[in-house]
Structure 1
């Protein structure tokens, strides 16, 4: 890899890193099931119990025998594997007074996280069909007069599905965020500690992301709560080595992950189009 930008007579003390997307979907999922992931194709079993019956108590007859709990499980398959593999030539490293390898590692880590973010965003297809507004044939055309109300409608779908109020979210593309800023009802509340977070609507944390899926010009805006989607991921291997063909330092790494909607009624999807 020839880093020709460092062959000029004046070198910057800092590396101009790539423009990066804000990663937010990974902050809206349940990571409680992460454990030791050793290989692609592994399965994480997620157990759940059935509803507990609530009855009327009678002091004469008591409560009867205890109800036996029913349980079920779903499988979270670690079916995604992403890698990075780059080298820095010795001659480039000698001419640069900035830490190229460190910047490249940060960029690789961000690229892996971005791949996971896009994968989580693609899970909108697993939504319960009753929790949708608009579709590919008849998308909702959003403008500054209706965008706030449609996002409230998403929260109402979650209410009607008995979704917990805690840790609710909605992720919108940049152009929808721009429309929200033109509505006085939207309280702009950026938080540097919560990547992509821009405010609240109807009990949902609003996030802005360029990873909102787009299908033939229709945007899939997902709302939900943290417990609806399970995610497990792990950097499986990172190795530094000297490539045989080059005088260079190289690093390669492997990231394994998987995600699954475990509560389809725990998310709601708005299919939207630009006016």
Structure 2
């Protein structure tokens, strides 16, 4: 890391705020199975008990016993990302800001943004897609009315799968949010209660959903957007920052920091996750 462009200028005692994306998806996954993750390659086995049959009973006949069994989902910690940076002693001496603290904030944000995009990619595992558009015939969102009606369609699709109504979310791109602002049925965030969560991308409510806006909504060339909806029961996520080290490199006069993050995710309740494909033309 070099700040040669700024020397010998004295920096003011704060760093200019970056124009960062809101990070949403990581907060909409559950971490129920995170456990004690030590390194990449760890595996979490998640079992779900299958249905138990209810049968007619006839006196004097044998009854049938079901085995308590069910599908098993594997959550593999197979993602590994690291950051590493150094601050030269001369640079640090000539700047009146804490360069290491500022760099750590940037590293943290980039790590979280990487994880956010990774979890957003699980739209391909959504178990509810019928009637919600696809790459060939996306739903065209060209008005506030159509935006709201598409949320109603999402609601119906989840209702059909008996997904609990409590805690439903949907993550939309900025263009979709723009349409929602024009619909009186959209209850925008802005009360004392909701202000505290605005930094997580929460923008309001409509059609039974808590609505979040994100610039990480997966899209194809900025046209086909994959709008994800469901509950936190759908995706399980686990992560561990396994290594964070401060050091003095032998070949330079500098302070250095490096860190390693291992993580993984899995869709454990596909029917609690719906994906709607939309465009805006």
TM-score scaled to structure 2, two decimals?
Answer: 0.90
Equivalence for 1:252: 258
Would you say 1:95 and 2:94 are equivalent positions?
yes
Q: Please say if 1:232 is aligned against 2:238.
A: yes
What's 2:156 paired with? 156
Q: 1:267 aligns with which of 249, 273, 278?
A: 273
1:4 aligns with 2:8: no
Q: What residue is the counterpart of 1:177 in the other structure?
A: 177
Note the residue ranges of structure 1 that are not aligned, 5 or more in a row.
none
Matches within 5 A, 1:1-275: 1-4=1-4, 6-54=6-54, 68-128=67-127, 130-131=129-130, 133-144=132-143, 145-190=145-190, 191-194=194-197, 195-216=200-221, 217-275=223-281
By how many angstroms is 1:118 displaced? 0.3
Shift of 1:178: 0.8
3-state secondary structure, aligned to 2:108: helix
Deviation at 1:88, TM superposition (A): 0.8
Answer whether contact 2:128 2:275 (CA < 8 A) is retained.
no
For 1:57 and 1:109, locate their aligned partners in 2 and report how far apart those are by CA, in whole Å.
61
CA–CA separation in structure 2 for the residues paired with 1:250 and 1:214: 37
Structure 1 stretch displaced more, 19-28 or 130-139:
130-139
- Unaligned segments of structure 2, at least 5 residues: none
Paired residues, what number? 273
| CA deviation vs aligned residue, 1:64-90 (integer Å, no higher than 9, x gap) | 797652233210011111110111111
Question: Following TM superposition, by how much is the alpha carbon of 1:245 offset from its aligned partner in structure 2, in angstroms?
Answer: 2.1
What is the aligned-residue RMSD (CA, Å)? 2.2
When normalised by structure 1's length, the TM-score is 0.92
